[in-house]
Structure 1
Amino acid sequence: MGNCCAPSAGRGDGRGGAYVQMGNKASAQQQNTWSKTGIVGLRDQGIKELPAVLSEIADTVKVIDASNNRITALPAFLPTLANLQRLTLSGNLLTVLLPPGACAGLTSLKLLVLDDNQLGDLPEDIGSLRRLERLSVSGNRLRTLPDSIGQLEALQSLVVSRNCLEQLPDSLAGCGMLEELDAQSNDLAVVPAALGGLKRLKALQLDNNRVFAIPSDLLFGCGALQTLSLHGCPIRPDELQETPGFKEFDERRKQKYDKVLAGGALLGARGLDEGVDRDVSPPQQR
C-alpha cells in the first residue's frame, strides 16, 4: 500500500537544466525586499540551500517558500528565525529536517509543509512547535511518527499521506485542536482507539491502507467526525455498519450532506459517499 518509500520523481536535474544557480547568494534588492515584507520567495530557483543572508535579517522573516528546489539540508541558523510563521519546502531533497533541539527555536511557526521530500523521520522534538497549526509531510519515507507529535496542542491539520507508516501513535490524541487527519496511502492496518480523544476531528482520510476495522471508541469519541474515508481498504461495509457508534457517526455524515445540498454545492456523480468500497476482497494473509 502507499508509495512504500519509493523515491519521488520530478525534482532536481529532471527539470531540463532550467535552474538558476542562485547558490548561497542573494542580491541587495532581494535582501531589501525580504527585509521590508518579511516574505522570502524562492520557488523554482534551483537553489541547493537557503541563502545565508537570511540570518542577517532573522528578526524580519515571517514567510519562506522555497518549494521545488534541490535543498538537501536546512541551515544551522534556521532556529534563529524566531518570527517565522510559514515554512514551505515541498519538492526538495531533504532527508533530515533539523538537528535535535532545533525545533524549539521556531516559536512562531504555524505552517510547515514538507511534501515530496525524502524524509525518513521527523525530529523527536517536533512537539516543541507549540503554535503549529498545519503540518504536511505527504510523499516522504516516514515509517513512524514521534510520540512528541501529541504535544502539538494547536495543530488543526495533519497530512501524512503517501508514506510508509505502519501505525499511528496513541499520543496523537493529545492534539486537541485537530480537525483533519489525512493518512491515505500508507501501510496502516490498525486505527488506535486512543484517537477517540480527538473531540474536534471532522475528517479522517484512510484510503488505500490495510485497515480492516474501526474502533468504536473512535466513532463514539470523535463527536465532530463527519467524514471517514476508507476506500481501497479491506474493511467491509457491513462490518463497519455493525460497529458500535456507527449509527451516531452516520447521522452526522448525513447532516453534513444535507447542509451541502442546502448550500447549492455540487457533489458529483457519487452523491453521498459511503466512505467504503462495496466490492471488497477478503484481506490477504501476511
Structure 2
Amino acid sequence: MGNCCMPQGGGQGEDQRKRPYVQMKQQETWAKTGIVGLREQGIKELPAALVDCGASLRVIDASHNRITSLPSFLATLGGLQRLVLAGNALSGCGLPPGACTGLASLKILVLDDNQLSDLPPDLGSLTKLEKLSVAGNRLRELPGSVGQLETLQFLILARNLLEQLPDQLSGCARLEELDAQGNELAVLPPSLGDLKKLKTLNVDNNKVLSVPQEILFGCVSLQTLSLHGCPIKPDDLQETPGFKEFDERRKSKYNKVIAGGALLGNKGLDEGVDREVSPPRR
C-alpha cells in the first residue's frame, strides 16, 4: 500500500521542488541576455530577483499583467533601456520616487492602458528617452518637465483626458510625432511651432477649432496634420496663414509615396479634416 502523502506521477510536490531551480535558471538567463520577458504571466508585481541582475538588464516587458505598483529597486536598474508595462493596473504617476533619476539609460517607456492620473514631476530626468507612450490612461495634464526631454522623438498621449498641452513641449527639439487623439483639447499652443522636426501631429477626436499659424509656419517638417472628429472647419483651416506652405509639404509627401509605388486604395490624399457631406438631391 503506497504512502498517500507522497506525490504521485510528478505531482504538485515535485513541481514545488523544481520551482527554485527554474527560478534560478530564469534569473541566470535574465542576467546573461539582459532581457526580461514577462508578458501575460498574471503577475501582480515585478520579481524581486530583478534587483540581483542590476545594471545588466536592458529590457523589461511585463505587459498585460495585474501589476498595481512598481518596486523602489527599479531606480537601481541604471542600464535599463526599454521598460514596457502596457495593460496593467498602475495608478498615480506609475513610477516610484527617484525612478526617473535612476533610469539614466532609458530610451523607451510604454505605460499604455493603465490607470495613471499623473506623470512623475521629475520626468525630465529621463535625458535619453526617445519614446514615451501613455495612451489609454486618465491624464488631465502633463508636467512642465516634459520639455526637458530633448532626445524625445515620439510622444503618444492618445485616449486620455488632456484639456491642454504645456508650452514647455517646445523644448522637445527632436520630436517627430505627437499623437494626442481622443482627448479634450480645445486649443493647441502656438509654442509647438518651435518643433522644427515635427512630421506628424494627430489631434483627431478633440475639440480643436483652429490651428495657430505659428504651427503651420514654424513646424517646417510637418507633413501630416490630422484633425478628424474636430469641429474645425476646412475653409477656416485653409485660410489660416501658413496653410499654403504646409499644404505644399503635405502634397510633396503624397507624391513621393505615389512615385514609390505604394498603394493607397481609394482614399487618395487625406485632407486631415472632415467635410460635411450634403444630403443627396432628390
TM over 0.5: yes
State the structure with bigger RCO (CA 8 A, min sep 6), 1 or 2: 1
Q: Does 1:130 align with 2:127?
A: yes
Moved over 4 A (4+): none
- Secondary structure class of the residue paired with 1:123: coil
Tell me, in whole angstroms, the C-alpha distance in 2 between the residues paired with 1:188 and 1:165.
Answer: 6
CA deviation profile, 1:258-285 (whole Å, cap 9, x unmatched): 00001111112211000000018xxxxx
Which residue of structure 2 lines up, in the alignment, with residue 49 of structure 1? 45
Q: What 5-or-longer segments of structure 1 have no aligned partner?
A: 1-24, 281-286
Tell me, in whole angstroms, the C-alpha distance in 1 between the residues paired with 2:82 and 2:97.
Answer: 21
Counterpart of 1:179 (choices 176, 179, 183) is: 176
Matching residue's letter, 1:233: C
Matching residue's letter, 1:142: L
Which residue of structure 2 lines up, in the alignment, with residue 156 of structure 1? 153
Counterpart of 1:218 (choices 197, 212, 215) is: 215
CA deviation profile, 1:134-183 (whole Å, cap 9, x unmatched): 00000000000000000000000000000000000000000000000000
Tell me, in whole angstroms, the C-alpha distance in 2 between the residues paired with 1:76 and 1:268.
Answer: 50
Equivalent residues in 2 for 1:2-151, closer than 5 Å:
27-96=23-92, 97-151=94-148
Give the Å deviation of 1:102: 2.6
Tell me, in whole angstroms, the C-alpha distance in 1 between the residues paired with 2:237 and 2:212.
Answer: 9
Matching residue's letter, 1:257: Y
Calculate the TM-score normalised by the size of structure 2: 0.89
- Secondary structure class of the residue paired with 1:40: strand
CA deviation profile, 1:216-235 (whole Å, cap 9, x unmatched): 00100000000000000000
Q: Does 1:168 align with 2:165?
A: yes
**Overall identity of the aligned pairs, in %:** 69
Calculate the TM-score normalised by the size of structure 1: 0.88
Tell me, in whole angstroms, the C-alpha distance in 2 between the residues paired with 1:232 and 1:201.
Answer: 22
Give the Å deviation of 1:98: 2.0
Q: Does 1:241 align with 2:266?
A: no
Verify the 8 A CA contact 1:100 1:124 in the aligned structure 2. no
Tell me, in whole angstroms, the C-alpha distance in 2 between the residues paired with 1:95 and 1:108.
Answer: 24
Matching residue's letter, 2:119: L
CA deviation profile, 1:104-142 (whole Å, cap 9, x unmatched): 000000000000000001000000000000000000000
Verify the 8 A CA contact 2:72 2:97 in the aligned structure 1. no
Residue correspondences, number: 256
Tell which deviates more after alignment, 271-280 or 124-133.
271-280
Which residue of structure 2 lines up, in the alignment, with residue 20 of structure 1? none
**RMSD of aligned residue pairs (Cα, Å):** 1.1
Matching residue's letter, 1:256: K
Verify the 8 A CA contact 1:165 1:188 in the aligned structure 2. yes
